[in-house]
Amino acid sequence: MTSHTGRLYALALALVVFFLSWAVLAARPWATSTPDARLRTLATREAQLRREAALVRALVAQRWATYHARLAARKAAIASAKAVAARQAAALATSAAPSPSPSVRVVTLPPLTITRTS
């Protein structure tokens, strides 16, 4: 081979074959894929956490519903207490006669005597 272009093509082809074979060998297509023990442990932990999260979500939903029911009952009790107080105030305002003014007793004290000894 006396042509420089032929040598360059041969070198380029050799490099392409070299890197292609390197990529094929690095991929290890013949290796059996056995899952790593750490990955299996991680997957089981993830499943456990998902189950626990579902239980927690259900518990929070139940507590939230209980809270809303108690809050509605308390608001109803407060509203009824206010209505009763308003009715009592209205009844007192309409039925109460003007009360007589209270008797006032005026007390007269002797004058205050201050003595200084300085």
Distances (CA, A) of 78 to 49, 64, 68, 69, 88: 42, 21, 15, 14, 15
pLDDT in tens, 23-61: 998 888 777 777 788 989 999 999 999 999 999 999 999
Domain ranges of the chain: 1-30, 48-90
The residue ranking higher by pLDDT, 91 or 115, is 91
pTM of the model: 0.45
Residue 35 CA to residue 2 CA, distance in Å, equals 54
What band does 99 get if pLDDT is binned at 50, 70 and 90?
A: low
pLDDT of residue 20: 95
Is residue 1 within 8 A of residue 7, CB to CB? The reply is yes
